[in-house]
Amino acid sequence: MLRQIEGSRAVAESVALCRPEVICAYPISPQTHIVEGLGELVKSGTLAPCEFINVESEFAAMSVAIGASAAGARSYTATASQGLLFMAEAVYNASGLGLPIVMTVANRAIGAPINIWNDHSDSMSQRDCGWIQLFAAHNQEALDLHIQAFKLGEELSMPVMVCMDGFILTHAYERVDMPTQAQVDGFLPPYEPRQVLDVNEPVSIGAMVGPEAFMEVRYLAHAKQLLALDRIPQIAAEFEQRFGRNTGGLVRGYHLDDAETVVVALGSVLGTLRETVEELRAQSGLKIGVLGITSFRPFPLAAVRAALQGAQRVVVLEKSFSVGLGGVVSTDVRLALSGLSLRGYTVVAGLGGRAITRASLARMLHEAAADKLPPLSFLDLDVRIVERQLQREAATRRSGPIAENLLRDLGTVASKVS
């Protein structure tokens, strides 16, 4: 059924259609509306049987999800930013134990300084934790990926993050096609755990593992990620056949057939990129394409290579970066393209919620098509205030707090948090 609805509410209702039995909730912007919506559905009896557990922290949320999943319950939680960092130890435990928890990450910048706006630094910080990471480009995709995430995680017995851009998607009202309960029931079978704590058949879950087997345990998680590379597109195809919507599988290309320059990105910026590319093709005749990556972990090396091998140059647009090195996604893309003669560029953009405009993208893509981009650049970076701070630090030992100095140089003041 077509509905105009907030992204968070769409995700809440799609999760409810998957019949979770335990939902662990701790509020942190911008994911709060998701668990609030689920709380309302549980309280009204619309989602039943389901236990909605208010916990005291994000660490507790993941810990409760681990306990619930180990006891045989379909489990769900959501978080963002500092909350994901706070639960990091338990996040690793969930994947190490092979528990198919589904978690929404409403992507948000990591402080300090404190910032509640969108970028991908939170999810990227956990890219090696053993969870599958799926990135949604828009709210319909976010809704659909959650339904697929439960099926994928439970088949492989591993946890899945569905990442959606905070505020840009979570708080945006868009038209989505909400499936019926019967449709979801026909696609997602009842949860049958591969391991379960049962007082009648007691077992240990999470026992100490020494050097004799720890490498094998870790490799098993890798082997399951490799299995997911096959299963993700299969499940996407099954979903399309049943629901009539293509969610892209591992990657999704746009204008790749004749593209000389291809921009690679994740998340909601793909919509702005596609609009910009259409304008550039119509106005300038530039042969530019877009490759959206849905599955960041496991990273689809073969699919990315196949999609990009006909291009002359690749621009990876990042909403996060590795301080002291450069691009995060770029490193994986570069590995996928090993041995191919392609010119590669990394452009970091949108950090802390900075707007990524079509004008800035068009200017950057013109430079890329002319091979005038540096290997690593930062879209709309104000280098002057950075240089001013470096000069300040070189001139005096007690140069003051960094963020406040930069804001003062910009003629603004720090936001107060009450």
* Cβ–Cβ under 8 Å, residues 173 and 8: no
| Element containing residue 20 per DSSP (H, E) | none
User: What is the residue whose two structure tokens read 């589904």?
Assistant: 102
pLDDT digits (tens, 9 = 90+) for 356-402: 999 999 999 999 999 999 999 999 999 999 999 999 999 999 999 99
Q: What is the model's pLDDT at position 205?
A: 86
Note the pLDDT tens digit of each residue in 278-304: 999 999 999 999 999 999 999 999 999
Are both 274 and 415 inside the same structural domain? no
Specify the amino acid at residue 120. Answer: H
Neighbour-count burial for 370-409, b at 16+ CB within 10 Å, e otherwise: eeebeeebbbeeeeeeeeebeeeeeeeeeeeeeeebbbee
Per-residue model confidence as pLDDT tens digits over 130-147? 999 999 999 999 999 999
Same domain, 117 and 257: no
How many Å apart are CA 147 and CA 180, to the nearest integer? 12
Q: Same domain, yes or no, for 264 and 190?
A: no
At 224, which CATH number?
A: 3.40.50.970
Asked if residue 193 and residue 97 are part of one domain, the reply reads yes
Nearest by Cα to 295 from 403, 143, 160, 199: 160
Dist CA 385 CA 378 (whole Å): 14
Q: Measure the CA–CA gap between 203 and 306, rounded to whole angstroms.
A: 45
Do 340 and 401 lie in one domain? The reply is no
Q: What is the pLDDT of residue 198?
A: 87
Domain-ending residue, one of 187, 215, 243: 243
Cα 183 to the center of its chain, rounded Å: 26
**Which domain-ending residue is among 243, 278, 294?**
243
**Domain span at residue 343?**
251-378
Same domain, 161 and 212: yes
194-238 pLDDT per residue, tens: 989 988 988 888 889 999 999 999 999 999 999 999 999 999 999
Model-level pTM?
A: 0.96
CB-based contacts of 134, cutoff 8 Å, min separation 6: 145, 148, 149, 160, 161, 162, 163, 232, 294, 295, 296
Are 269 and 359 part of one and the same domain? yes
94 with 203, same domain: the answer is yes
CATH number at residue 367: 3.40.50.920
Of the three residues 243, 266, 299, the one that is the final residue of a domain is: 243
Please give the DSSP secondary-structure letter assigned to residue 189.
P
pLDDT digit string, tens, across residues 156-184: 999 999 999 999 999 999 999 999 999 99
CA 20 – CA 36 distance, rounded (Å): 15
pLDDT at position 418 over 50: no
Sign of CA dihedral 362, 366, 368, 369: positive
| b/e map 257-267, b = 16+ CB within 10 Å | eebebbbbbbb
Q: Are residues 57 and 203 in the same domain?
A: yes
The DSSP result for 379-398, as a single string, is: TT--HHHHHHHHHHHHH-S-
Q: Tell me what the pLDDT averaged over the chain comes to.
A: 96
Q: In what order do the strands lie in the sheet with 288-293?
A: 251-254, 288-293, 261-265, 313-318, 343-348, 376-378
Whether residue 170 sits in one domain with residue 25 = yes
Question: Do residues 185 and 79 share a domain?
Answer: yes
pLDDT band at 416 (very low <50, low <70, confident <90, very high): low
pLDDT in tens, 27-53: 999 999 999 999 999 999 999 999 999
User: Domain total for the chain?
Assistant: 3
Cβ neighbours around 167 below 10 Å, total: 19
The pLDDT confidence band at residue 311, using thresholds 50, 70 and 90, is very high
198 vs 74, more confident: 74
Give the CA-trace dihedral at 125, 79, 2, 180, to 10 degrees: 110
Asked whether the predicted pLDDT for residue 84 surpasses 90, the reply is yes
Give the pLDDT confidence of 1-20 residue by residue, as tens digits: 999 999 999 999 999 999 99
Q: Do residues 9 and 77 both lie within one domain?
A: yes
